[in-house]
Amino acid sequence: MNEQVQTIDPSNAFGYVTSPAERNKVLRNTYWLLALSLIPTVLGAWLGVATGITRSMGGIMGMVVFLAGAFGFMYAIEKTKNSAAGVPVLLGFTFFMGLMLSRLIAMVLGFKNGPDLIMTAFGGTAGVFFAMASLSTVIKRDLSGMGKWLFVGAIVLMVGGIINAFVGSSAGMMAISVAAIGIFSAYMLYDIKQIIDGGETNYISATLALYLDIINVFQSLLALLGIMGGERD
């Protein structure tokens, strides 16, 4: 059969109209771009730690800068995802996210066991990603209904984070981090399954979604480890 001919998904359950070859291409390109996106993230985090440029961006000021930059980049990515500018804009966003993450990383590096905590958070995030990617290949049911509930959960997390920026509660930060790990781990499963089922056909959009899942799980794990396991000199 000609692989370019679009066919209904093999299970005939979800109603998405894309060929298996096209789905595999989107998934492959997404994984490659996702791996590439980690390079600007690391560079941004290194620059932020080395220069201390984000050290003063705490509390409300930091949140305003982060939200303005993040939503501005996401708007630009949405507008350019079907053009040659899409990938550079996405990589610019991942650099910005690394820069914003550098404040948390610098705080964790202030602990005696800071490097170990960062590697543990990285390993934990990688483990979650591979578990969700594996799970997405064996689940046959349509998970598209999860999207609205996960979106509501993400909004509740954002509101909770804004409130906690005013309150400055360690217990509140721990609760938000635990909830974020659960919600964005589920989002990973949902986003990968969308690609596999043909619900997402643009690899730049797919990469953005998975990148946000990964960065949220990583920073939540890192914050949790810092609060619970950080060792002072």
Distance from C-alpha of 13 to C-alpha of 174, rounded to nearest angstrom: 40
**With the C-alpha atoms ordered 21, 26, 32, 35, is the resulting torsion angle positive or negative?**
negative
* 17 pLDDT above the threshold of 60: no
* Per-residue confidence band for 215, with pLDDT thresholds at 50, 70 and 90: very high
* Amino acid letter, residue 132: M
Inter-residue contact 225 to 120 (CB < 8 Å): yes
Indicate the angle between helix axes 170-197 and 114-138, nearest 10 degrees. Answer: 30
The DSSP letter of residue 82 is: T
Give the residue extent of every domain in the chain: 20-229
At 33-90, the pLDDT tens digits run 999 999 999 999 999 999 888 776 666 677 788 888 999 999 999 999 999 899 999 9
Question: What does pTM read for this prediction?
Answer: 0.86
